[in-house]
Structure 1
Amino acid sequence: MTIVDTGEVRLHVQRLAAHPTAADTGPVGTVVLLHGLLTDSLASYYFTVAPAFAAAGLDVVMYDHRGHGRSGRPPRGYGLEAFVDDLDLLLDRLGVRTPVHLVGNSYGGTVAFGLARRRPERVASMVVVESEPATAAWAVKLAGLLDRVRREMSVNEDGALAWIATHHGGHTARLAKSAGRLVRDTTLARDIPASAVLDDDDIRAIGCPVLALYGADSDLADQAPRMRALLPHCETQLLPGHRHSVLVEAPDRVRALVLDWVGRHSRPPAAARGRAR
């Protein structure tokens, strides 16, 4: 475990080095894994796809967002801009100078879109899973979601946690309890909906290749044609039989799609470059 102080917040970071035997044959570069909001953490990657990415030849960076997991939990400062700042500063602190491949799940994908718009030179490609850019409609949706969480965890926390434990297990209930504290004890529920948002022209200006993955039964599946229409270099995939929890329900499929995508948008491995001379 590594704690990196960005100057704004202390972030819990895990790095997995590319497996040396894959260095000359697999995809090349650094992949940064960005998790979702409230009940999520880097663990959702650590126990699913991250080890396979390292085994395939990628350097892997994953971290807990501010307020999540083992990262610092400041009382205020949770606008989307702060999460994008954290990612930008973290890459500086880690000495990552070359463009990275961003993989963002849910809110993590929204952070990825934010960095790609602000610092396009830092982003080689993106894979977003069940995600969308920050827009006016997104802000309204997040406001409703966060307000509902705040009310449910303030008015009847014990009842809500008991229901979650019964239907989803004790581990999920513990995550929900931590999420409730985050919403109740910080300004996150006010800050995120008040974030600066992107209009269609901003989204069109994101020039890196983007792969957008959605559960075919998810409420976000209708984002697929919109993303293809707005982003200049975008492909989409709908995963049948899945809703929002694509990453944890279909990790093998996500892993295969990400490795193929990164392989298509990274520099050739050293051995291939040597043969081409």
Structure 2
Amino acid sequence: MTMVRANGIELHVQRLDPAAGGPRHGPTAVLLHGMASDTMASWFFTMAEPLVRAGYPAVLQDLRGHGRSERPAAGYDLDHFVDDLAALLDGLAVTGPVLLFGNSFGGTIAFGYAARHPERVAGIVAVESAPPIPEWMRRVRVRLDRVADRLPRAGALAEIGARRGAVAARRAADTGRLLSDTSIAEELPASRLPTTGDLAAIDCPVLCLYGGESAVGELAPAVCQLLPQTRVVVLPGQRHSVLIDQPRAVRRHVFAWLAEHFGSDAAQPATPRQRDTQEVPDGHDDHRSVDHHQQRPVRLDAAVRPHP
């Protein structure tokens, strides 16, 4: 476990470098998880190893208040999360443009960072996410309010455990502690947002992936209007947890996009035998892909070298 002090708090960080003698394609991939029940594990077990195998150094972190990172009582608006990321990259001496990967609100942090530091971002991959625009932040408020109302109810955790298993119940319990111990439910929806002009000035390539059954995908037209270079991928039948539920399909689209924009074709995941893909031009892409194979979590081995 590596703890790094950044922006006045201790952040849990994992840094991975390509193996000596292996491919190295340059931009460091920075992977940001979602809010409340998520941690760096969602990226560690789905995307980190394939990226490093393909030659991309990787940095993962538990966001403030999450996982093993410090949990201050306050400081949970978007600016704090963006400041944390900026301070962390400086502290780790990560130079040059980075590839930002964000799951759910992690993608929003990525867009917020890119709006503030466009010259430091080579590309953005956002899964079930959107830039910090008013409608997305309204939905974040509704979701946080709903969870804050539901979790304290008698039997709520037992119900979650019965329906979704013990791991989901433990995550829900930690979410409840986060909401009760901090001001995140009040601060995050009230965040100061970047101007439309600052967001529109993001000129790097953008890939957005959505589950076909998730309401977050309704924001895709607004994302494309704001950032017309965006490629949108919709995975039919999938919900908000598409990164965890369909990691192979997500990887396939991510590596195709990386190959197009960064010339990397190494370590692409095997293409599933059964799939149905339909593509339309960038800016309005609806790459519909069905992956019928269950993917087990990846593990680190000798091909991936943890950074000291």
In the superposition, the TM-score normalised over structure 1's length comes to 0.90
1:207-226 aligned at under 5 Å gives the runs 207-226=203-222
Contact residue 33 and residue 104 of structure 2 kept, 8 A: yes
Unmatched 5+ stretches in structure 2: 266-308
- Give yes or no for contact 2:103–2:128 (8 Å, CA) kept in 1: yes
Match of residue 139, structure 1, among 137, 140, 145: 137
> In the comparison of the two structures, how many residue pairs are matched?
265
Letter in 2 for 1:184: S
Question: C-alpha offsets along residues 145-184 of structure 1, whole Å, 9 cap, x if unaligned?
Answer: 2122222223x1x411001000010111011101111011
Residue 5 of structure 1: aligned partner: 5
Give 2:42's aligned residue.
44
Q: How far 1:199 sits from its partner (Å)?
A: 4.7
Map of 1:274 onto structure 2: none
Do the aligned partners of residues 19 and 263 (structure 1) sit closer, same or farther apart at CA in structure 2, a change above 3 Å counting?
farther
One-letter code of the match for 1:196? R
Task: Tell me which residue corresponds to 2:224.
Answer: 228
Kindly report the root-mean-square deviation, in angstroms, between the aligned alpha carbons of the 2 structures.
Answer: 1.7
CA contact (8 A) 2:136 2:219 kept: no
Is the 8 Å Cα contact of residues 116 and 198 (structure 2) preserved in structure 1?
A: no
1:265 lines up with 2:243 in the alignment:
no
For 1:195, the equivalent position in structure 2 comes to 191
DSSP 3-state at the match of 1:101: strand
**Mapped partners of 2:264, 2:120: distance in 1:** 19
Greater helix proportion = 1
Q: Is the 8 A contact 2:206 2:230 kept in 1?
A: yes
Shift of 1:268: 7.6
Cα distance in 2 for residues equivalent to 1:200 and 1:50: 32
- Counterpart of 1:176 in structure 2 is 172
Tell whether 2:241 aligns with 1:245: yes
SS in 1 for 2:155: helix
Checking the alignment, whether the CA contact within 8 Å between 1:124 and 1:265 is kept in structure 2 is no
Q: Give the secondary structure class of the aligned counterpart of 1:265.
A: helix
Does the C-alpha gap of structure 1 residues 213 and 233 become closer, same or farther in structure 2, counting only changes over 3 Å? same
Match of residue 103 from structure 2:
105
1:128–1:213 Cα contact (<8 Å) kept: yes
Task: Say yes or no: does 1:185 pair with 2:186.
Answer: no
SS in 2 for 1:68: coil
2:160 to 160, 164, 168: 164
8 Å contact from structure 1 (residues 28, 266) kept in 2: no
Using the alignment, how far apart are the partners of 2:165 and 2:197 within structure 1?
A: 43
Q: Percent identity?
A: 46
1:81 and 2:70 equivalent?
no
1:19 is aligned to 2:19: yes
The TM-score, its normalising length taken from structure 2, stands at: 0.82
State the Cα distance separating 1:200 from its structure 2 match.
Answer: 3.7
Counterpart AA for 1:147: D
Distance 1:189 1:21, change over 3 A: same
Q: Which amino acid aligns with 1:177?
A: A
